[in-house]
Structure formats: structure tokens, C-alpha cells
Structure 1
Amino acid sequence: MIGLIIKRMFQLLFLLFGISFLVFSSMYIAPGDPAAMIAGPTATESDLEAIRENLGLNDPFLVQYGRYLGNTLQGDFGYSYQTKQSVAEAIAIRFPNTLKLAIASMIVAVVIGIITGLVSALKHNSWLDVTATTFALAGISIPNFWLGAILILIFAVNLQWLPVGGLNEPFYTVEGMKQLILPAITLGTASAAMIARIARSSILEVIKADYVRTARAKGVKERTVIWVHTLKNAMIPVITVIGLNFGFLLGGTIITEKVFAINGVGRLMVDAIAMRDFPLVQGSVLLVATLFVVVNLFVDIVYTYIDPRISYD
């Protein structure tokens, strides 16, 4: 297991190096002039040239990338072109909101997805199965921005049960939980539908296994058969989907943060791209990529505890 972690750490370094190169290259060839964004419409050409020289934008591509990579390895992600704020500080301020939203959405997805998949599999070909399958199809098909707008219209505007947006209260307070409900449902619905479909297929496969039939023939309680013999052995593909979806949720909160006016990393990234704020874009993407790889490493470790037959030695 230690060998696996060390190996993945090396893979993480190479992956982040490749991602940093791709992101830096994309921003380098993207249309638009950061100097013009900084100086504003009234700037003269001499003003723009002075800004480019000060930021090192006149240097060749490899020189700029080498300087950026060297600073990044020292923990210096640079400063925002627009606000002059440290990139690390700007991300640190907003990341808790994104993390809270991703965790809340994942809880919604796991609870709804596993329960729906389990009921659908146990009541195979019944009206409950058809309803659950329809929910899964609808959950994957409905766009986040539309679902978020509908939830706001119903529960915030008409019924006034929940706040319209924002995420500025501690999550452990009543108001903080209220602020999380609508965005968590909006973001977690598609993941819940995907988990439900995978859980249904996996449980249907496991429930026909010989050891499940043997457990029932020996008179084991149906509750034990379902929760111990069936669900546990069906969780490997489900955990894979959960891990991948959590990584996607950390980097895919952009639309939800926009709809619910949440000051998170996704919204920061979109605004930075629009303003050609290269350091903010690069820092945000590196953070999301790192978290995605770490989550997948955690999933690989969890495998060995769920199924002792899995070994990475």
C-alpha cells in the first residue's frame, strides 16, 4: 500500500506538470491582451507596452513558462492581474465554499443514488423500478442551470422556504444548511442518477450470485443478505463512480455557483478567464487537478478495505 501511494505521488507530479503546461499554453495562445484588460480602454500604446514589460509578457513562451514553473515549485503562484491579490490567498478564501458545496452535493448524490439503485434492483421490473429508471434518465438529462432556476422559483421565490443564493454562513448553523440545500440538490442530481444506475446494475448482478442464494437457503435474515452479502459486494463499481463524481464536482461547480451567486473557485475561474487573468486561471486549474488525483488515490485505497481480495502488491 505504501508503494502504491509513493507511485501515485510520482504520477501526480508528472500529471500536474503536464496540466500546467497545457493550461499555460492555452492561456498564452488565447485571444485578448491581459495588458489591455488591466490598463482599461483609455490606455495608450506606451502604457500597454510598459505593463507587458513589467509582467514579462514580452518574453518568449518557454522563458515565461520556465519562470512560472520555477515560482510554482516554490509555492509562489503569482498575483492576480486585476486585484493584485496573491493567487493562493484568492483561492484559499473561496475554496471552502466550493468544498462545502461539493461535499453536500456528494452526500445528496450518494444517499439518493444508493437507495434508489437498491430499491430498483430489489423490485426489478416493478413500477418502482420503472420510476427509479425514469428518475435516473431525467437526472442525467436535466441541465444544472435549468434545475437551479426552477428550484429557486419554487422554494425561494414562491414558497420562500429557502434563501435565493449565497453561501456566507457556517454550514453547521441552520441558516448555513438552508443555503446549501438548493445548490446541493442542483449539483448532486446528475451524480445521484449516475450512481443509481450503476448501483442497480451491480446489485442485480450480485444478487444472483451463488453465495447470496446459499445465504438465503441457510435461513439468513433477508436484511443481513441485502446489507452484508449483497450491498457490500456490489459497492466496488459504485465507489468508483462516487470517487470520479466527487472529483468532477470539485471542478464542476461553475454553473451552480453562478446560478446561486456562490463565491467559490468555479466562479473565480470563469471570471478570471473572461478577464484574461492568467495566474488565477492556472492556480485554480492546478488545484482542481490535484484534488481530482488525490480523490482517486483515496478510492483505490478504499477498495482494499471493502474487498480484501484486491491487492496492489
Structure 2
Amino acid sequence: MPWGRMLVCAILAIALMFADLRFSRMDSVRAQLSTLVAPVQWAVSLPSDVLNWGALVLSDQRELVAENRRLREQVLSLSHRVQRMASLTAENVRLRELLSASQQHDIPFITGELLSLDPDPFTHRMVLDRGRRNGVFVGQPVMDASGLVGQVTAVSAYSSRVLLVTDASHALPVQVNRNGLRFVAQGAGRDQRLNVRHVPDTADIRENDLLVTSGLAGRFPPGFPVARVEQVVHDPGEPFARVKANPLAKLQRSRHFLLLFPPEPRNADGRGGWEATLDPVAVEMARQVAGDVEPEEAP
């Protein structure tokens, strides 16, 4: 009978409590019983422990992800500002001889993350997670924390395709940061290297020289690091030297990038952005030398 069983259990419980109170040997019995019951207690508390642990992990993970994102954007922003210091230091030496110089303006930007790389070994392109809805446009410069990466060649609503500076079809006007000599750097295509085109054999360019954007052609802002000269070869009897440079951007390792926006137009003749401070004849000549990249449709 249920009542009889309950009565027997109650009597046993009272007897055990009395024995536990009066006899010291019950301590060892209690310890053994606790050992036997421990797995049951662990199994009963397991669901609540798992839920509490999961909630704590997700909460900490969200906070860490948010903090990591903020720190990455802060590092990119600071690197964006520091990259111009080498160019500005050399430029200030030249500008001291001038009566006045145009004021440097902060360049607005947004951050983007790598989505995919082009599997074709003969092309150097990548896709970022920023598109038309973020204000991205064809021809927009792209940088990482170390230097110039390339430019946007196609834009969709939520992504954009970027042509890297090492692609054989990419060329941009650069200048030697040490003395201001201007040349055109073109991607080698086969490896992570740039070829500096049409360098006179007598030009003052040396190994380890820093190449920065010259700002000509209005496509890239002036003064941003592009590459460092690796090799200068002078062939006897040849009018031009063969110059090879290594890009400063970590093209094979970076996952986060800066997409730069031109500043507001400042001239009344319709020219704006980086072209506003350039001579129109020089802009046209640089465009003819470097060439503009033909836009293509984004996948």
C-alpha cells in the first residue's frame, strides 16, 4: 500500500537522522552515500549548467567580437593617418621654400572586409563586403594598414570588386618620396611585385626608396605609400633602367581594408576631389600614361 510504504520510509528517515546524530560512524556512511549519489546530482544539474555556460560564452563572445571590431577600425584609422607622415616630412622640406602651401585635409573613409579572392592565377582581384549602398564607387582607392592595395573596378549593391596594384593591367602614377621624381608603377602580374616603367638610366632612384602616390590623374590621393624599390638594374647601352619594387600592402594576409573617399570639391570650375588642386594639363598627361581601368560588372 502507498501509505504503508510512505510510513516505512518516514520511519527509516527518522532512524537515520537519529543514528547520524548519535553515532560518529555515520560520517563514513554519509560520505560513501554521497559518492554514490554524486553522478545522479551531476546528471540532474547538467542541463542548467550547460544553459548557464552557453549564455555566458555567447555574452562574452559578443562583447569580444564587438570590442575586436572597434579595435580593428581604430588601428586602421590610426594607420591611415600615420602612413602620410613619411611623405609629409619630405614634402615639408620642399614647401619651406614656398610662400604658402595648400592645407592638408583629412580624407574620409569606410572600412571593408575581404569576402573572396579571384581563383584565376593570372589576375589579382578580390571582393569586399561593401557596395553601392555603402557609397562605394568605381575607381575608389583601397588601402590596408601598410599601403595602397588597389582600386574598385565594379560595384554591386552589397559588394565590390577590387583590382590589386600587382595585376598586370593596373598602373598608377607614383613619385620617389626622397626627391619627388615621378614615374608610373605597373603590376608585374606573375608575382607580388611592381615594375616602375620608363625610368631614365640617369634618374636618381635607388634601392630601398619609398614610392608614394603622386596624386596625378586624380584617381589616388597624393602621399600614400605604395611600394619600396627592391632592385635597380642599369643595362649598358639601354636608355631606361629596369626597376622592380615590392608593394607595402600585405596583399596576401590582410582581411580588413580602408576605402577612401575624395574630399569635397573646392574649385568653381567643376573639378573636385583630389583633382581640385592639380594642374589640368598634368592630370590629362598622367591619365594618358597610367590609363583608367575599364569598369566591369560585379558578379
The interval holding the TM-score normalised by the smaller chain is: under 0.3
Greater percentage in strand: 2
What TM-score, normalized to structure 2?
Answer: 0.22
- RCO greater where, 1 or 2, for CA within 8 Å and sep 6 or more? 1
What TM-score, normalized to structure 1?
Answer: 0.21
